[in-house]
Structure 1
């Protein structure tokens, strides 16, 4: 057994060893590296690690589960919002945790500026990404509805890309200016380069701008039957540079958007009724009573047809080869086949009615009178 004196000296030895370990730990933690103690670095690392673990747990336990639930229940906008937050806002919070953890360190002015600029740049980048995602989602909701035709969906792609390019270009310029970069020379160079590119691609840009003109003014849409000069066809596609038509004979007609906007065109789909006029000629040997009846006969035939509206029917004058009659009426449909069917029935009825009354059509003839000398 140990004596009381031995126990006492043992306790003193243990206390001395603990003090030595504590002093060594304090000395290690107080070791200075680049104006900061090792303890400060460890605390900074601990803050960042703990913050990152909390955010990671939040992402797994809440964000991902909420997004999957929204996808299962067809809550599209909520699912998009959660996914966009996971991709943009969560990294933004990581940047915030990193920036806060650095506050404990005594950094040199150079490293302080670097940390500030990096944090600001990342904050701006992720914020812009989130805002652009929301804006693109709004455009997509407006332009990508099932009832929206494909020509209008092009505008979503173009607006989205142009807006994205402009916003990111402005963001880069602002960030460079914030970093102290002299951007005046850069902007001047970009301006000169832009002018050169614009001159080189003048035709392409003209077609692109005329595409927007067609979309905004809407002189025609997909499915319209239009006539341009001596060409005609049904519009099948309105592209960024060209518009494609399908002619009645089956071939594809391709026009640049600039040609279409600078040409006079006729859009038959906008026609709500078709005005028809025709003339016919009867023999000079027709009796006067029948001549008086012919306008009423023609008017009766027109009014007996469905989807027609009579405008006028007249004995218009004396021709070289016979008596002239003019008829004007409207077909109350834009369908060309329906118009031809109606005109065919009218022609057949005219032949029947004239045959019943003995009225003869005339045709170019020449009568020679020979006088005996």
Structure 2
């Protein structure tokens, strides 16, 4: 089939037919790239359907369509550019060498392709970790384990850092023509200087691995490390995020979480309550004995109070007769702990009133 003669008309080193082909590739690629992205995403979901329990196809589409669309756009630009001959101008370089502006354009396209491919890889990591977390949640009846909450976000960040490093090395080698082997070897020579420069960052990174290996605390635990206290919300490469009692968001370097005595309040089996009651001197010994006996019985009868309850007439002072009270509430919930204290305080007051006891009046010094 003979093409129209006007398609052979040359302009800037390319025929009109070449320009039309390039424009057609751009139009078709730009118009259908989201359709192709959804098709590729659907094919991937079909291939992995048996392993993706708990993750819907729409969730995969939401993760992949945008980076796949960007990747296909870059491929479209490369295909369209491959159909054209870049004009060299009158001062063309030596045969076999490309002018600097053409080299720059090709390198920009190559860099864009690597960046887009890396974005697709990062989204695939998000998808893989989402599948693992959903399957773990199903396996433990919708109750993620300590490892799921703590290790999976860390593993996702670690894999992403690894892929970003790989993509950076590929870009340096393919786009900027850097000798990657020599560069990696040179890092061994300059590693000591880098280690000193990034000493704190390395210490925090090592501390993060220590946290995951020893597991002194996990996501959701209430901890106190030195002067800071709060509920752990996230454990990262460099820092641990805490939600304080004032609901502020506190970021603590991982090194500070392990080089100070750490109290994991969530792992305690009970909460201690201790205080002193001071009775007026008018309270008789018989009344005091009955108050202690009935208060002890009331506390031991409470379902959330352990049996090691102590109520002792401990001291006789000028202020009055002191009775020490100590018991443990078998709960890790702060709200439940406060409710038990309130119930038993009311019960103590009722017992004192029932036996006619009188609390001592504490007078402030002038």
> Could you state the TM-score of these two structures normalised by the residue count of structure 2?
0.55
C-alpha distance in 1 between matches for 2:321 and 2:338: 26
Quickly say closer, same or farther: Cα 1:288–1:73, change in 2 above 3 A. Answer: closer
C-alpha distance in 1 between matches for 2:349 and 2:129: 60
1:346 aligns with 344
1:203 aligns with 200
1:305 aligns with 302
1:328 aligns with 326
Q: Which residues in structure 2 correspond to 1:65-104 (within 5 Å)?
A: 71=46, 74-76=49-51
Is 1:242 the equivalent of 2:239? yes
Q: Which residues in structure 2 correspond to 1:174-185 (within 5 Å)?
A: none
Offset at residue 307 of structure 1 (A)? 0.8
State the structure with bigger RCO (CA 8 A, min sep 6), 1 or 2.
2
C-alpha distance in 2 between matches for 1:299 and 1:252: 42
Say if 2:154 and 2:236, in contact at 8 Å, map to a contact too. Answer: no
Query: How many residues in Structure 1 have an aligned counterpart in Structure 2?
Result: 236
The one of 225, 230, 249 aligned to 2:227: 230
C-alpha distance in 2 between matches for 1:188 and 1:69: 38
Residue 317 of structure 1: SS of its match in structure 2? strand
1:156 aligns with 155
Quickly say closer, same or farther: Cα 1:246–1:223, change in 2 above 3 A. Answer: same
Say if 1:310 and 1:328, in contact at 8 Å, map to a contact too. Answer: no
1:277 aligns with 274
Q: Which residues in structure 2 correspond to 1:138-157 (within 5 Å)?
A: 145-146=136-137, 147=144, 149-157=148-156
Offset at residue 269 of structure 1 (A)? 0.9
Residue 49 of structure 2: SS of its match in structure 1? coil
Query: Any idea what the Cα deviations from partners look like across 1:38-85, whole Å, max 9, x if unmatched?
Result: xxxxxxxxxxxxxxxxxxxxxxxxxxxxx95992682349xxxxxxxx
The unaligned stretches of length 5 or more in structure 1 are 1-66, 78-135, 169-182, 368-373
C-alpha distance in 2 between matches for 1:366 and 1:153: 57
C-alpha distance in 2 between matches for 1:205 and 1:69: 38
1:26 aligns with none
1:172 aligns with none
Say if 2:305 and 2:329, in contact at 8 Å, map to a contact too. Answer: yes
Say if 2:290 and 2:355, in contact at 8 Å, map to a contact too. Answer: no
Is 1:295 the equivalent of 2:270? no
The CA RMSD over aligned residues, in Å, is: 3.9
Offset at residue 331 of structure 1 (A)? 0.6
Offset at residue 365 of structure 1 (A)? 4.4
The unaligned stretches of length 5 or more in structure 2 are 1-41, 53-124, 138-143, 168-179
Offset at residue 285 of structure 1 (A)? 1.6
Residue 309 of structure 1: SS of its match in structure 2? coil
Say if 1:210 and 1:257, in contact at 8 Å, map to a contact too. Answer: yes
1:93 aligns with none
Query: Any idea what the Cα deviations from partners look like across 1:126-181, whole Å, max 9, x if unmatched?
Result: xxxxxxxxxx999998677443645312342355468779999xxxxxxxxxxxxx
2:60 aligns with none
Say if 2:129 and 2:156, in contact at 8 Å, map to a contact too. Answer: no
